[in-house]
């Protein structure tokens, strides 16, 4: 639902999970070549935006340990603003400012794409609120400057992804119920991808253009082997979970997802989790909830 209480418009900023993650190579610029499947889950941060005249972008809810100017929310807004101004022939007196508030529920260092999702939500929302009218393709290219996961949140559909994660083919995996669990540890994506011990030569899944041939159950997460060696908390949690149901780490961790056919099954296992483990239960989604909110957005006169 869209809310614009006191001129603030409200948008979901959903999490994603990687149903698998293969690292198939590394480019000369250091970026890793991947094969993965992204699926959204019904669990989101919330971003509230109020447009203001001028060009000031202000994050009203600083995140502890992150300077505002380094936050992807602010970076996304400024990047879009710069793009609009470079193309504009109108007066500089435009409504290209914003006050932004974020309510975080997605853990940092969890592999759920929270920062990338926040950036994508800001790009999509401000594109509409500022009247920029950039296409999804244009927004995804801007988002790629902020992070490899941003384009999937821009496009908003579950996808088989290649390249650095930006080459997307729509896919419709089963929308399971997931128990998402996280031990009391956060993992830096950069630390995983810069590790000399990370596998970087997994053979490519060759689908010959037939995405229906993809069997996710036969795939794995290349980051998981490294992470469980370096983070015993993740190893211990995974070992505990797989005794009950199929479980796998998402992204670079530390979150682990466990698949169930029903919400009740997921809630039952959640109640048994060891102390100190953070968790939530959510439904897998093949369409981002943000997409429908953006489509329904009606601006005040």
Strands (E), the chain: 9-26, 32-52, 57-59, 97-103, 159-162, 167-170, 177-182, 247-249, 256-260, 278-285
Instruction: Say if residue 34 is in the same domain as residue 112.
Output: yes
pLDDT by residue for the chain (301 residues), tens only, comes to 344 445 899 999 999 999 999 999 999 998 999 999 999 999 999 999 999 999 999 999 998 888 999 999 999 999 999 999 988 765 545 689 999 999 999 999 999 999 999 999 999 999 999 999 999 999 999 999 999 999 999 999 999 999 999 999 999 999 999 999 999 999 999 999 999 999 999 999 998 888 989 999 999 999 999 999 999 999 999 999 999 999 999 999 999 999 999 999 999 999 999 999 999 999 999 999 999 999 999 876 4
The model's pLDDT over 193-223, given as tens digits with 9 standing for 90+, comes to 999 999 999 999 998 888 989 999 999 999 9
CATH number at residue 100: 3.30.230.10
Which residue in the list 16, 50, 75, 128 is annotated as catalytic? 16
Cα 136 from Cα 253, distance rounded (Å): 28
Instruction: Say if residue 143 is in the same domain as residue 211.
Output: no
Instruction: Say if residue 12 is in the same domain as residue 150.
Output: yes
Count CA within 13 A, CB hemisphere, residue 300: 10
- 0.85 exceeded by the pTM? yes
The model's pLDDT over 128-170, given as tens digits with 9 standing for 90+, comes to 999 999 999 999 999 999 999 999 999 999 999 999 999 999 9
Instruction: Say if residue 134 is in the same domain as residue 10.
Output: yes
Nearest to 233 by CA among 246, 249, 217: 249
149 catalytic? Reply is yes
Which residue in the list 45, 48, 149, 222 is annotated as catalytic? 149
Nearest to 178 by CA among 27, 268, 284, 73: 284
Residue 146 falls inside a structural domain: yes
Instruction: Say if residue 125 is in the same domain as residue 185.
Output: no
Q: What is the number of domains present in the chain?
A: 2
Instruction: Say if residue 277 is in the same domain as residue 161.
Output: no
Cα 82 from Cα 63, distance rounded (Å): 24
16 catalytic? Reply is yes
């Amino acid at each position: 639902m869209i809310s614009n209480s006191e001129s603030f418009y409200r948008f979901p900023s959903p999490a994603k999970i990687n149903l698998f993650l293969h690292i198939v190579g590394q480019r000369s610029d250091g970026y890793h070549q991947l094969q993965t499947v992204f699926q959204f889950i019904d669990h989101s941060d919330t971003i509230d935006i109020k447009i203001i005249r001028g060009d000031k972008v202000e994050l009203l809810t600083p995140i502890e340990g992150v300077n505002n100017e380094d936050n992807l929310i602010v970076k996304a807004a400024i990047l879009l603003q710069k793009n609009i101004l470079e193309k504009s022939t109108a007066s500089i007196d435009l409504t290209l400012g914003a006050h932004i508030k974020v309510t975080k529920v997605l853990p940092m260092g969890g592999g759920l794409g929270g920062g990338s999702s926040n950036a994508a939500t800001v790009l999509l929302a401000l594109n509409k609120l500022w009247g920029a009218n950039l296409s999804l393709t244009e927004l995804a290219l801007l988002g790629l400057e902020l992070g490899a996961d941003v384009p999937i949140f821009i496009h908003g559909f579950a996808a088989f992804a290649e390249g650095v994660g930006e080459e997307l083919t729509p896919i419709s995996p089963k929308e399971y119920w997931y128990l998402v669990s996280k031990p009391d540890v956060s993992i830096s994506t950069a630390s995983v991808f810069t590790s000399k011990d990370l596998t970087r030569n997994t053979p490519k899944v060759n689908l010959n253009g037939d995405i229906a041939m993809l069997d996710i159950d036969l795939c794995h997460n290349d980051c998981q082997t490294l992470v469980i060696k370096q983070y015993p908390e993740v190893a211990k949690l995974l070992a505990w979970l797989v005794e009950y149901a199929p479980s796998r780490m998402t992204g670079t961790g530390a979150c682990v997802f466990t698949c169930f056919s029903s919400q009740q099954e997921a809630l039952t296992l959640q109640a048994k989790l060891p102390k100190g483990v953070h968790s939530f239960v959510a439904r897998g989604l093949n369409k981002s909830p943000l997409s429908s909110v953006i489509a329904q957005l009606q601006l005040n006169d």
